[in-house]
Chains A and B, each alone.
Chain A
Amino acid sequence: MKKAIVIFFLAVFGYFMAITFLSPEFEADRNRNGVKDFYLEKTVSDLKTANTVTAIVVNFRGFDTLGEVTVLFLAATALGSILFKKRHHIGERTVLYPASTIVGSGAKLIFPAIILLGAYVFIHGHLTPGGGFQGGTIIATGFLLMLISYRNFSISHNILSVIESLAGILFVVFGFMGLIYGGSFLENFMGTGILNDLFSGGVIPVIYILVGFKVAAELTGLIYTILHEKG
């Protein structure tokens, strides 16, 4: 009975979705000259940033990004709060068996490469695909690999928390510097340089690198917390 209701509901929902998105009018009525062209044009002419997505994420819609790193920060904090135990001893990591020699050495071999890749991705965020989020998550996966391969590989929670806090504070401070030197919060107040140079785009790469540090620290901390949870 319950299933019948659910399927009926899904059918209605699917019908509405289908008539919205699948009808040819959806494409025909679309207004193509929205904000898109403006962004593409200004990214090259004003911001000198090759990657338009980065320009949008960090500059045009930078406020969203500030909110987004806050969401991650909140999630990491919430995880600690929800899994909080009265007698808080750092439990054994939930890795049942130690990794085999092959996995262990492989992880050791790959780990620096992953970190390097992550750093490359977020340093070149304004030139090539990628950026702070991508690089940060790649670095977090590197730490994850080490955490699950070695039972006694540990990261200081305090250091993670310091990195995270400093990156977040600097992000907001750069926003305020935009307010002071440029006139509005998060404004690109530095010289933008030449398109496709490593040092171009003004404040964009700086902020994206901060985002990278923050995301990497937050995600690593998050995984670390949940890995030390014994059911």
Chain B
Amino acid sequence: MVGTPVFLIAIPLLAAFLIPLIGMIWKESVRIIPGLVLAYMTVLSASLYLFILENGTYVETIAGWQAPWGIDLVFSPLTGLLATIMTFMGFIVWLYSYRFKSNVEFEAAKKYFIFLMLLVAGSVGIVITGDIFNQFVFIEIVGISAYALTAFYTGRNSAEAAFKYLIMGSLSASALLIAIIIVYAQLGTLNMAEIAANIDQMNVHYRIIAMIFFIIGIGVEAEIFPLNGWAPDAYTEAPGPVGGAFSGIVVKAGIYAMVRMMFTLFDISGPMKILIVIGLVTLIVAETSALRQEKLKRMLAYSSIGQMGLVLVAFGMGTKAGVFAALFLMLNHAIIKPLLFLSGSFLTFNTTEKYISQITGMAKKMPVVSVLFALGALAISGLPPFSGFWSKLSVLTAAADENLMLIIALVLIISVIEIVYYFRVINRLFFFEYDESVSVKPHKPGFNGMIALFILAGLILLIGFYPASVTGYLDLAADDLLNTHQYIDKVLQLGQSIIQ
């Protein structure tokens, strides 16, 4: 091991404070240090993950106080898997944007990389923390980095998208704080395991109200309907790689927070139905909106929201197969969506509007990027033999086990819709003539960016042809999420509870 879970958060923070200092002397460091930190986080997270697969969940206490009293970090098969995915995606996004703005101001680049690094660190923090108020703090860290990244380009609309995001984000943060207040007032603790162990002592009315506030509070990051109004604008206006970071990292953290809250914290009969309803509404609204979009990134954003709806539906089934399918979907989405965003951002390079019509016939000019984009599009719409197929299949089998025919039918219809709108783009990309008056000027994509794209594409093909390479890990993670008692026992190691 090269560290403990707390390094995943402390090291990026240390680096963020260090960068302005070193940047005064050595300008290139503002690009290199974040990359080194993200690479280190990936290695650390992966090695910790392998470690805990052998030795069981690792709970780290902070400031020397045992779990119910102090803040603790939980590194379990589920959180470890997610943290590894996130840090890896963070590294990929860094790799893609390494030369980003290299010809422009040093100050801007410095800030961009600090925000990116803290975005990843905050998302990892949301996942591995075991304390609800600590989670709130991390949500705010992610939030402020995300607002700043959205408003990064000084274009006309970016400030507006960021402002919209900020209003929704801070309203939902207030809701989250109210939920925390209710829980603390009733149970006198903020530790997740402690809350989970004592949730049945809480009045049912308060439990339901607190849960509603929690859903509102986390829903903005998790992009559930109707709290996702910010997403299409933010994805469109943010710099290209940031869209990939949002869909690959931030949303995953939001979904995790929501699922952890539903499965572990609030043990109400029927919360799963709530998840299914939320997920289905999100799915249908988002996918039908995606069909109508004229702008590439807006379409991708709606598609991303729709996928998250599907994830929630799969989680909502509440069975082992459902959770497994949901995690599989999350993994695939975390790989495929950044590929689409990153390659899409190469295709619409230097345009402000990013209309789909602007990429007409680009395949003739930028064949490699176009093929990679098409690969992502085919994979996410669930066509065999790519990775998306297996996750959609597992959703369908999970639904079939539970006899949820409505869900099966809807998922199939949605898949058709997805195929339609992705093929619309692919059609334009490959089978139309290049038209100089409409299309963007082709450019030579950077070397580092292409490496990032190839890594992602390689992963898609790997999972597509050998799904068994990941299913074992996902299986363990699903077990971990469903086993609330084990979580409580592991965190409250001594078996002591402050509430008798």
Contact = CB atoms under 8 A, between A and B. Distances in A.
Question: Do A and B have CB atoms closer than 8 angstroms in the complex?
Answer: yes
Contact of B148 (A17, A61, A66, A78): A78
Interface string A69-97: 01101110110111011101000000000
Contact of A70 (B6, B16, B154, B499): B16
**In terms of DSSP, what is the predominant structure of the interface of chain B?**
helix
Contacts of B65: 59-60
B268 to A, nearest CB: 16
Contacts of A59: 63, 65
A208 to B, nearest CB: 14
B134 interface: yes
A56 B29 CA distance: 36
Looking at B10, B18, B24, the one whose CB has the most chain A CB atoms below 10 A away is B10
B147 A34 contact: no
A44 interface: no
Given A31-B499, A172-B14, A185-B10, A26 B148 contact: no
A142 interface: no
A16 B209 contact: yes
A192 B125 CA distance: 30
Interface stretch (A3-11, A146-154, A173-181): A173-181
Interface range, A side: 35 or more
A165 B189 contact: no
A68 B137 contact: yes
Looking at B65, B107, B190, the one whose CB has the most chain A CB atoms below 10 A away is B65
A34 B499 contact: yes
Contacts of A169: 14, 17-18, 21
Given A31-B499, A33-B498, A60-B70, A183 B64 contact: yes
A184 B63 contact: yes
B63 A188 contact: yes
A184 B499 contact: no
Interface stretch (B200-208, B292-300, B301-309, B431-439): B200-208
Contacts of B499: 31, 33-34
A19 B138 CA distance: 30
A63 B134 contact: yes
Nearest to B6: A185
B114 A62 contact: no
B442 interface: no
Interface string B96-117: 0000000001011001101100
Interface string B385-424: 0000000000000000000000000000000000000000
B152 interface: yes
B421 to A, nearest CB: 32
A184 B64 contact: yes
A62 B187 contact: no
A81 B146 CA distance: 12
29 contacts: A19-B205, A20-B205, A20-B209, A29-B206, A33-B188, A33-B498, A34-B188, A34-B498, A35-B68, A35-B69, A38-B69, A60-B63, A60-B69, A60-B70, A62-B63, A64-B133, A67-B125, A67-B134, A70-B118, A71-B137, A71-B141, A74-B141, A78-B144, A80-B111, A162-B24, A169-B17, A169-B18, A178-B63, A186-B63
Interface of B: 4, 6, 10, 13-14, 16-18, 20-21, 24, 60-65, 68-71, 105, 107-108, 111-112, 114-115, 118, 125, 133-134, 137-138, 140-141, 144-145, 147-148, 151-152, 154, 159, 162, 178, 182, 184-190, 198, 201-203, 205-206, 209, 212, 498-500
